[in-house]
Amino acid sequence: MKNKMREFSAKDYHFMQRAITLAKQGYFTTSPNPRVGCVLVKNGEIVGEGFHQKAGEGHAEVNALAMAGKNAQGATAYVTLEPCSHYGLTPPCAKGLILAGIKHVIAAMVDPNPKVAGNGLKMLAQAGISSQHGLLREAAEALNVGFIKQMTTGLPYVRCKLAASLDGKTAMKNGESKWITSPQARQDVQRLRAQSCAIISGADSILTDDAKMTVRWSELGVLKNSYQKENVRQPIRVIIDTKNRLTPNLALFNEHSPIILIRRTIENIHQWPHFVKQVSLPIVNTSANEQHIDLHALLQYLAKLNLNDVLIESGAQLAGAFIERDLVDELVLYQAPKLMGADSKSLVNMANIESLSQAKELNIIDLRMIGEDIRIIAKFLA
């Protein structure tokens, strides 16, 4: 498994970038599998390419080999993730590359899955196929931050979406909040939801807005072919309802897609739709001598369900609780060009942050205009 057999050329970068572009086509359909693209090149020309579309179906390498046919013999494979070496829902891709007669493999990154973790490249080496890895590694990792984190820590990658005025307010004193941000920003939130495996919210948010918490696919313009239309899915909606206040007549339950109600105790008063599951999780005592769901245990539970990317869309209390406990990886903040006043509701509540030394620090990684609003993407510093 040598990494420096030769210097990467401009053409190598070009073909790997093409593989990354292909991988993005599976952005909304591959979960819980990683997004992967593959390009097969022979005599400087692409002879086959493909991407992983859906768990249980052909991996990127399989689709590229099918396109190349006999032209795969003697080709170089550019793949955004190390070819798998184990039997899962499909046979190992490393074996497929060997049987096709591929002569050289360049992987953008080593697979963090313990079942692979370098074994795919070792399998290639044992078959006499040279390989390299590390080309455009950061770009490849960015495709699958949730998959990588789940495989290395046992927890999902958590984003927290917030929307506020320039003075950091989320609603007026009377609760009015529709709409603080522009239609373009709200459409961008739909994309955030679509790339997530699960959305976490609290009962307060659901009851206040009678929210559905679903993806409105018609707004995204990504359903360009029949395959995408058939295979996009709604993220699992995870609602923390410790006081058992939700009822089946809410708009949340009109969308027939999975819902998990997180509760202290399971109740059987209501007749819930078949797609609703009630889950009881451990309770922890806070410093204010209050009892709340163990949020770390919640994320562990979601990771065991292979929910790699989680989006928090909630009120200030729940968002602040996740942030205060260092359970959020990334903040996505939309700020509208409005000033809403001192009596308005604040962005997040973190009761135990009492001094500047306790403040949560972030690194802004993206800053741009979305419609008339500012979108800030920032990662929390460890």
Question: Three-state DSSP class for 208?
Answer: helix
Closest by CA position to 333, among listed 282, 276, 379: 379
C-beta separation of 332 from 192 below 8 A: yes
User: How many angstroms from the chain centroid is the CA of residue 125?
Assistant: 32
Its pTM stands at 0.89
Q: In the beta sheet, which residues pair with residue 267?
A: none
The per-residue pLDDT of the chain, averaged, comes to: 89
- CA-to-CA distance for 246 and 56, rounded, in angstroms? 35
Q: 146-380 is classed in which CATH architecture?
A: 3-Layer(aba) Sandwich (3.40)
195-236 pLDDT per residue, tens: 999 999 999 989 988 889 999 887 776 665 555 666 778 999
Which residue has better confidence, 176 or 91? 91
In the prediction, which pLDDT does 1 show? 44
Domain boundaries defined on the chain: 10-143, 146-380
- CA-to-CA distance for 31 and 156, rounded, in angstroms? 12
Cis check for the bond before 32: say yes or no (omega within 30 of 0): yes
pLDDT over threshold 60, residue 4: no
Q: How confident is the model at residue 86 (pLDDT cuts 50, 70, 90)?
A: low
Closest by CA position to 146, among listed 136, 137, 138, 155: 155
Q: Catalytic residue at 82?
A: no
Whether 10-143 and 146-380 share one fold: the answer is no
Closest by CA position to 275, among listed 295, 300, 257: 257
Closest by CA position to 257, among listed 301, 312, 215, 313: 215
Task: Output phi, psi for 41, to 5 deg.
Answer: -125, 135
Find the range with the poorest average confidence among 135-149, 228-242, 292-306, 321-335: 228-242
Catalytic residue from among 7, 49, 61, 176 = 61
Percent of the chain residues topping a pLDDT of 90: 65
283-300 pLDDT per residue, tens: 887 655 667 899 999 999
145-187 pLDDT per residue, tens: 999 999 999 999 999 999 998 888 877 766 666 778 999 999 9
20-56 pLDDT per residue, tens: 999 999 888 888 889 999 999 999 999 999 999 887 8
In the sheet that holds 276-280, the strands lie side by side as 276-280, 259-263, 236-240, 198-202, 309-312, 157-165, 330-336, 373-380, 362-370
- CA-to-CA distance for 151 and 113, rounded, in angstroms? 6
Q: What is the CATH number of domain 10-143?
A: 3.40.140.10
Closest by CA position to 39, among listed 55, 22, 52, 57: 22
Q: How confident is the model at residue 269 (pLDDT cuts 50, 70, 90)?
A: confident
Binding-site entries: 59, 84, 93, 163, 177, 179, 193, 209, 216, 242, 313, 315-321
How many separate helices (H) and strands (E) can be counted in the chain? 11, 18
Query: Within 10 A of 277 (CB to CB), how many other CB atoms are there?
Result: 14
